[in-house]
Structure 1
Amino acid sequence: MPVNLAAPDPASLLPVPGVRLGVASAGIKKPGRRDLTLIELAPGSRVAGVFTQNRFCAAPVAVCREHLARGDIRALVINTGNANAGTGEEGLGRARQTCSAVARLFAIDAAQVLPFSTGVILEPLPIDKILPALPAAHADLAAERWSDAAAAIMTTDIVAKGASRQLRIAGKTVTVTGIAKGSGMIHPNMATMLGFVATDAAIAPALMQRMVSEVADLSFNCVTVDGDTSTNDSFVLIATGQAASPEIADAGPDYSALKAALAEVAIELAQAMARDGEGATKFMTIAVEGGRDRAECKQIAYAIARSPLVKTAFFASDPNLGRILAAIGYAGVQDLDVNALKVWLGDVLVAEAGGRAAGYSEAAAAAVMKEAEITVRVSLDRGDARATVWTCDFSYDYVKINAEYRT
């Protein structure tokens, strides 16, 4: 079961003026399951995104990049149950057919539609199921459908993921609401499996890409479940400009305030993916400090977080802490002085001066390992930089879920 994670109360996911969502059942993988989502954006909305760096990127990712380059996005369409990845020219054609069908419903151009898919790779997108279900999703459009959409975009997720915040900008209330899905194949080097965060703030077009990239780096770029980067990773930021606050035109205080709120939502969603990692029983925070720069701190944190040996030790509640030291050592920081670093498991100092800490207690470490939420802290003692990564353990169920994924 997910680690200290429950689905959000639908009432807690605040409507964002200028955004309507609708869901429907296309029966893509399972009959009767709501697996198709439409998102309508008000005219004048601005959209930016970051996508997978996997060279085998999915057809919808390629189409999204093309359409975003043209601008003026008015609708998003999301299906689960099929990734439309590894499908070649036919996959591109089917993604574009889907955009054209959505465009007809909204009386807009196909290039104003962004398509997203998630699910099984190397299988044709079943447009014979998707296209007939689009009118039902369109008829379902409403501003309050965030919770329904969060559930409709799930694949192996157990719990729907959503979050909202409000803040004041220039004396006006601004809303931020986001949803995401992801439970396995999570080790992005840009974003999550699928994430959508919207605000009614007005952001200058020149700042949109900077904002989404910076928010992704603070959140979805800091989570790993299994070390695999998906072919379909997409994180999209929507700014409708419907709030009464003035347009954010530079990287001043208003930009920083909005970025902080967006990052809070995105971090909550990213952590939820680790808490809901396939088969997860433990949620782990890997905090590395005292580095020369954030990049090397993150490099070491990820080496620990994605190590199968570390993750299985945590599942077993076994303080086999040599596995953490080994991961630090092979992380690739060539001039790291291992004699200078310290490692804590919770509040227990476990390693210093190149070996086991003098006051280390196996019983104290074992007690920490039994907890559902555990922090590993590493001090490099070579600078002021720091980075945090969130992950989960590997259980028997992870193997079972992925062994049976297509069935």
Structure 2
Amino acid sequence: MTSVKEKQIKILENGKVTTPKGFQAGGVHTGLRKTKLDFGWIHSEVPATAAGVYTLNAFKAAPLQVTKNSLDKTGKIQTLVVNSANANAVTGPQGEKNALETQKLVAEKKGVEVDHVAVASTGIIGVQLPMEKLYKGINWMDEAENQGAERFESAILTTDTVTKYAAVEVEIDGKLVTISGAAKGSGMIAPNMATMLSFITTDAAVERSSLEAGLRQVTDKSFNMITVDGDCSTNDMVLVLANGLQKNQTLNESHPDWDLFLNGLQYVSQDLAKQIAKDGEGATKLIEVQVKGAGTDKAAGEIAKAIISSNLVKAAVYGSDPNWGRIVCAVGYSEQPIEVDKVSIALGDLQVVENGLPIDFDEEAGTEYLQQEMVTIHVDLQNGAGEATAWGCDLTYDYVKINASYRT
């Protein structure tokens, strides 16, 4: 994949999931949450070619299963709905029935095919959906006061503290194509995927098989490279909808602008992934781990994830303690091939380990650097051309407080 170039990709600072042509979105308060919006939707004027990636957790939530089954059958999504506060996970046959009923009622409300409706949920596990509240949300979908991408962004949140969105514009076949996304995620965030929902819209025309392959490729370098707490959720899902309304020649791997489109999709996905990591429950800092010099990209990725997943590393960053030994430890237990006498580590521009040995460095400078909101850890293995980047956050007292009382 070619690198992102500003002359090819225009970042839309205020772009939303409704910025691509033909998409609408909204959100309402149904009573699932005490006062906040809790039911959101995205709707395309026409059925959109769609692709998805899903959690690896064996306890896949009912809405995820229903959405995956429909998408596998038709390859299209026209309307998707999301509720927060209730995951509809580990809810047995009744949970599946509720997800299917939601899908059916939304299809009737929006005048679309049942299998063109995606359903998603996030929140508490093991509690049946109060369907009377979902009915209200579905009935209110077309009311003018409930429309707007910002309402959708808010409706999908749980313990998140901010909404998350990103958008870019690229020129394909002389037409300006937009790729936009919205996401939620704050806790239970771990590769592969997380308690994370991400929805990406584009007005590009894309071949289904190419969209699926491209999404998997992009996810491996974005959503699968973040962690907050090492827990893998039951409800994780990334969906991308391409409605083709810009009328470009259908994109696939042989199209001359395919790499450009993938770069745009990757930019949006990585931006959303970093926003999720930064908004980890109780987090005060975003941590980026850059690994280079590995034997393969995969090995570099495993090492980066080992570092970003280390509670000891995360706690040290929270305390602004330049304890490089914890980073070395994580590299060592990553189970990836390394030559210990070649490993070098830096905190930002501050070198702390060179060729496997500590070097004298200014501890105060290290502490000062780790007090920033964005911390970058560099690891050079000097053992190949493999490289990868992972993102996470610090581990704080507030994380324990939030999760100790999550259901109350």
Question: Normalising by the residue count of structure 1, what TM-score does the alignment of the two structures yield?
Answer: 0.93
Corresponding residue of 1:350: 352
Question: Normalising by the residue count of structure 2, what TM-score does the alignment of the two structures yield?
Answer: 0.93
Shift of 1:11: 5.0
Which of 34, 37, 42 is 1:39 aligned to?
A: 42
**What is the CA deviation profile of residues 243-272 of structure 1, one whole-angstrom value per residue up to 9, with x for unaligned ones?**
032211334431111111111111111111
8 Å contact kept, 1:224–1:390: yes
Corresponding residue of 2:112: 108
8 Å contact kept, 2:289–2:389: yes
- Where in structure 2 are the equivalents of 1:11-160 lying within 5 Å? 12-13=15-16, 15-30=19-34, 32-71=35-74, 72-140=76-144, 145-160=148-163
Percent identity of the aligned residues? 39
Greater Cα shift, 215-224 or 58-67: 215-224
> What RMSD over aligned residues (CA atoms) do the two structures have, in Å?
1.9
8 Å contact kept, 2:89–2:95: yes
Q: State the AA in 1 paired with 2:36.
A: R
Cα distance in 1, alignment partners of residues 283 and 133 from structure 2: 33
**What is the CA deviation profile of residues 118-160 of structure 1, one whole-angstrom value per residue up to 9, with x for unaligned ones?**
0011111111211122111233499x72222111111101100
Local SS of the residue matching 1:82: coil
Cα distance in 2, alignment partners of residues 361 and 319 from structure 1: 10
8 Å contact kept, 1:58–1:231: yes
Q: State the AA in 2 paired with 1:77.
A: V
Corresponding residue of 2:218: 215
Shift of 1:355: 2.5
Q: State the AA in 1 paired with 2:343.
A: L
| Alignment partner of 1:362 is 2:363 | yes
Q: State the AA in 1 paired with 2:209.
A: A
Cα distance in 1, alignment partners of residues 394 and 252 from structure 2: 43
Shift of 1:188: 3.0
Cα distance in 2, alignment partners of residues 272 and 66 from structure 1: 29
Local SS of the residue matching 2:342: coil
Q: State the AA in 1 paired with 2:121.
A: S
Shift of 1:192: 6.3
| Alignment partner of 1:323 is 2:326 | yes
Corresponding residue of 2:272: 269
Shift of 1:190: 4.3
- Where in structure 2 are the equivalents of 1:134-283 lying within 5 Å? 134-140=138-144, 145-190=148-193, 193-283=196-286
The structure-2 alpha-carbon separation of the partners of 1:192 and 1:121, relative to structure 1 and needing over 3 Å to count, comes to closer
8 Å contact kept, 1:338–1:353: yes
**What is the CA deviation profile of residues 352-378 of structure 1, one whole-angstrom value per residue up to 9, with x for unaligned ones?**
233212x33322322222222111000
Local SS of the residue matching 1:29: coil
Gaps of 5+ in 2: 1-11
Which of 286, 291, 296 is 2:289 aligned to?
A: 286
The structure-2 alpha-carbon separation of the partners of 1:124 and 1:345, relative to structure 1 and needing over 3 Å to count, comes to same
Greater Cα shift, 384-393 or 12-21: 12-21
Local SS of the residue matching 2:140: helix
Q: Report how many aligned residue pairs link the two structures.
A: 396
Cα distance in 1, alignment partners of residues 132 and 319 from structure 2: 46
Q: State the AA in 1 paired with 2:109.
A: L
Q: State the AA in 2 paired with 1:241.
A: G
Cα distance in 1, alignment partners of residues 29 and 212 from structure 2: 33
Corresponding residue of 1:5: none
8 Å contact kept, 1:305–1:389: yes
Gaps of 5+ in 1: 1-8
Cα distance in 1, alignment partners of residues 382 and 249 from structure 2: 44
8 Å contact kept, 2:157–2:184: yes
Cα distance in 2, alignment partners of residues 191 and 185 from structure 1: 6
Corresponding residue of 2:9: none
Local SS of the residue matching 1:367: helix
Which of 311, 316, 328 is 1:313 aligned to?
A: 316
Shift of 1:311: 0.7
Cα distance in 2, alignment partners of residues 140 and 47 from structure 1: 27
Consecutive aligned runs of 4 or more in structure 1 exceeding 4 Å deviation: none
Cα distance in 2, alignment partners of residues 217 and 378 from structure 1: 20
Shift of 1:200: 0.3
8 Å contact kept, 2:308–2:314: yes
